[in-house]
Chain A
Amino acid sequence: MNDFTDLYWRLDATTSTNEKLAALRDFFAAATPADAACGLAVLCGGRQLRTVSSTQLREWAAATTGLPHWLVEECYAHVGDLAETLALLLPEPAEDAVAGTTPGLAEVMQTTIHDLRGADDDRKREVVTAVWRRLASRERLVWHKLLTGGLRVGVSRTLVARALAEVAGVDPAVMAHRLMGDAVADGVAFARLLAPEPSAADDRRPYPFFLASPLDRSDVEGVAAALGSAMDWQAEWKWDGMRAQIVRRGDDATVWSRGEELMNEAFPEIVAAGSSLPAGTVLDGELLAVRDGRLLGFAALSKRAGRRRVTKKILADIPCSFVAYDLLEAEGLDLRDRPLTDRRRMLADLVPRSFADVLVPGGVNDPGPFLSPLVPGDSWPTLAARRAESRDRGVEGLMLKRRESPYAAGRTKGDWWKWKIEPLEIDAVLLYAQAGHGRRAGLHSDYTLGVWHDGKLVTVAKAYSGLADSEIVEVDRIVRATTIEKHGPVRICTPTLVFQLAFEGVSHSTRHKSGVAVRFPRIVRWRRDKQPADAGSLADLERMIAAS
């Protein structure tokens, strides 16, 4: 598995897309078809078999190294990555054990991972410790990740498709489409993937997405000055979902993300709904998680989007709908140069059901496609009043689109604006901190924050990001210096740090001691100018609940 180990470390060592692309290209060009197919499955995050538990690995590593179990755990807490921890802890193999050619990735995965399925613990232990005696540290890390099913590399499917497209000499969107559907199971399938001639079935490309720019004005006068008459603008809600295109061509439908990633596997019901459209249709719109007439928000939706295979339970728990707001192609004709008003009229003919009818209490779960309702209003004060309803409606604000505008490519400024509402904010005090993972392994970067209630600080939110890397390092040092107690990876600190916390909504909940929970909390800035005594209170949050 030398080829794949080299690929892993090359990808790990760089943040440059070009270098990642080159590393992928080199791997696919050099590996045997069987190893390439196997590597492709791993890179694309296909379901990895987990035949050995991490608990077993830790126990066997403790036994092999002669270290007490608690020390292995402390090392893991420090390193933040089990595969790496074990790779570093285990003794280096004897020179003669690594000599000679090493087997390829496909063979290693078969003999040391897949074959362990159903084996008893003694057999598993025998295989694992034999591998430990054979692999050097850098190879061991990669193998551990394969073994525990935790191998993640910083490459998107799109980048993998680009690399394969370059190796095969075909268009990247063609390759993305070929990668759809059945996994590339073996060397024969991999060879087929690289066929140089595109077939008719290959044409499923989405159009480049037109992106809106943020409108940083809250005042009606400012908006009027920037955009002119409200009559020239079409207003819609800005949904808290995922931008997507449904491409209905040939015999099937494909769903593409804004990053031009194919999402058919994550959203099968949307694909099925899209298949009912006439051939030669492309819709632009939003994927939304909506259940019983209630929007579930982006966090719920991303649970769907992150999966390669969705279970029936997930489909039932997080049903999704597609809300169309633009028509880019009809009857095989590219409509992008037509004015928005024309496209909207044709869209309404094609997709007559309004999403407004779904958003009622007890509404049916239906993938759609639905028509994104217009927000009526012929003056900026009227639209501003509608925008103020956004939080109650679970949307992020308004979208403003110039009625005469064509569908441009990329972020062409001037015709599409997102007019988002201001987030709610409160100053909160850092109470607990926990070390992060990956790039932030070993750094205390997950914070639990509290506000005042009856002279005490009560927790209200857990927030991850928003600080610059250098600030995270600084906070980490303060956390270590002010730790009162350690509970596993969580440190309880003397309250000294105040952060400005932004969030999208606040409601009663039993999740935190305070009895309230905030939606989509994130740290906006570190209030170095404030002391814990200056932080907000539960009463402030209760007032926000009352006002909403």
Chain B
Amino acid sequence: MRDLLEVTESGLYCPQGDFYVDPWRRVGRAIITHAHGDHARGGCERYLCAAAGMHVMRTRLGNSVAIDTLRDGESISINGVNVSLHPAGHVLGSAQVRVEYRGVTWVVTGDYKLQADPTCAAFRPVECDVFITESTFGLPVYRWQEPGAIAAEINAWWRANRDAGRTSVLLAYALGKAQRLAAMVDPSIGPIVAHGAVMKLVEAYRASGVRLPSIDRVPPRARRVGDGRALVIAPPSVLGSSWLRLFGESSVAMASGWMLLRGVRRRRGFERGFVVSDHADFPGLMRAIEASRASRVLVTHGFTDTLARLLRDRDYDADVLATRFTGEGEPDAPEADDATNETVADGEPAADEVEA
């Protein structure tokens, strides 16, 4: 039988069902794993996403687009192909797409993580014949600490800054990471303040029923914010902008999986780097692959060659699938930052919201 999913000019395509998963061009029917810019692009006729991600999708793609949703595990038939969505644990509403046709099952993970995240449903393994997995952190050097230990590190940094009268600025993706961090930290340390780009998604999360601590928006046209006690959550695109001056003396930290490497931390020049990622670490990838019970594994965005080779060593039928997804960017990409995608979508520079 022909493959259920194949890479075409427009994206990952299911010929039997005539639909795309996370297409990178405008197509008729798009099933979206999650709302990050490299997976959810505008201009398609109809979208299908997980019900939990509806508000987030609307925030990113606008209110006018046609979006259908599926509840967790609910199945529909598209041209005879059964499609269902299952939690991927990446960000709110992120889903693995399960596609089944004549007894053959494929699963596309999109981005995923196995770590606990209070702001979205946990990754749930789905058995399949062919598993299409991301590989952003697909090298065994990438192993994450327990979220509790990272939260303690961030809290200690925030507390020390507060005691020294220094604002704590934490840089993170506007969608997902920012909200997760807000839910991870100890809000009794001081006020939490967010950049406008983060705030829009905080509101979408709240509208979806996710409980977050009290977060203040940085008021437009503000001249001075906070008194050195606040934790400011902002997208990395604010680096080097005058927006950061609103907070007076501050300590700037980056939250990203790449912060694990000393070389990356040093050359990006952040005072602190917290190793927090919404992607699976290497052991997580291996566990997910095993739990899928798939015999064939297709590896996309990340350390594709390496992971595919390792899987072949371990008797999987494994190959690289060349897609245009970018995962957590590259270690040094200045736009390793979802707010950049958002900037394009919104047609206004994210950092200018308060500058104007």
A interface residues (Cβ-Cβ under 8 A, vs B) = 12-13, 15, 65, 67-68, 70-71, 74-75, 78-81, 84-85, 88-89, 438-443, 469-470, 473, 476-477, 480
Contact = CB atoms under 8 A, between A and B. Distances in A.
Binding site of B, secondary structure by majority: helix, strand, loop or mixed? loop
B333 A477 contact: yes
Interface in B329-346: 330-334
Contacts of A88: 141-143, 260
Given A81-B262, A84-B261, A477-B333, A440 B143 contact: no
Given A442-B331, A443-B332, A473-B332, A67 B263 contact: no
Interface string B111-146: 000000000000000000000000000011111000
B306 interface: yes
A70 B261 CA distance: 20
A543 to B, nearest CB: 39
A89 B262 contact: no
A521 B141 CA distance: 36
A12 B309 CA distance: 35
B263 A81 contact: yes
Nearest to A473: B332
Contacts of A81: 262-263
B313 interface: yes
The 10 closest A-B pairs by CB, nearest first: A441-B263, A88-B141, A473-B332, A439-B267, A75-B141, A439-B266, A75-B139, A74-B306, A80-B263, A84-B262
A92 to B, nearest CB: 8
Interface residues of B, number: 25
21 contacts: A12-B266, A65-B140, A68-B313, A70-B309, A74-B139, A75-B140, A79-B141, A80-B263, A85-B141, A88-B141, A438-B263, A439-B263, A439-B266, A439-B267, A441-B262, A442-B263, A442-B264, A469-B267, A473-B333, A476-B332, A477-B333
Given A74-B306, A439-B266, 5 more contacts: A75-B139, A75-B140, A79-B141, A81-B263, A443-B267
Nearest to A438: B263
B310 interface: yes
A78 B266 contact: no
Interface of B: 139-143, 260-264, 266-267, 269, 271-272, 303, 306, 309-310, 313, 330-334
In terms of DSSP, what is the predominant structure of the interface of chain A? helix
Contacts of B142: 88
Nearest to A442: B263
Given A67-B140, A79-B141, A442 B261 contact: yes
Given A71-B310, A443-B267, A79 B332 contact: no
B69 to A, nearest CB: 36
Nearest to B272: A13
Nearest to A68: B313
Contacts of B141: 75, 78-79, 85, 88-89
A439 B332 CA distance: 12
A308 B100 CA distance: 69
A88 B146 CA distance: 15
Contacts of A78: 139, 141, 303
A138 to B, nearest CB: 10
A89 B140 contact: yes
Most buried by A among B141, B261, B271: B141
Given A71-B140, A88-B143, A473-B332, A79 B261 contact: yes
A402 B83 CA distance: 85
Contacts of A84: 261-263
A480 B272 CA distance: 28
Nearest to A87: B141
Contacts of B332: 443, 473, 476
Contacts of B261: 79, 84, 441-442
A71 B260 CA distance: 18
Question: Considering residues A85, A438, A473, which has the most beta carbons from chain B within 10 angstroms of its beta carbon?
Answer: A473
A469 B332 CA distance: 10
B330 A477 contact: yes
Nearest to B310: A71
Given A78-B139, A443-B332, A470-B334, A71 B263 contact: no
A85 B139 CA distance: 11
Contact of B263 (A68, A79, A473, A476): A79
Contacts of A477: 330, 333
A76 B134 CA distance: 22
Nearest to A137: B143
A416 B139 CA distance: 55
A144 to B, nearest CB: 13
B310 to A, nearest CB: 6
Nearest to A78: B139
Nearest to A470: B334
A78 B263 CA distance: 10
The residue in A15, A71, A438 that gathers the most chain B C-beta atoms within 10 A of its C-beta is: A71
A473 B272 CA distance: 20
A13 B251 CA distance: 13
Nearest to A437: B263
Nearest to B262: A84
B50 to A, nearest CB: 32
Given A68-B313, A74-B306, A470-B334, A440 B263 contact: yes
Contacts of A67: 140
Contacts of A470: 334
A470 B239 CA distance: 13
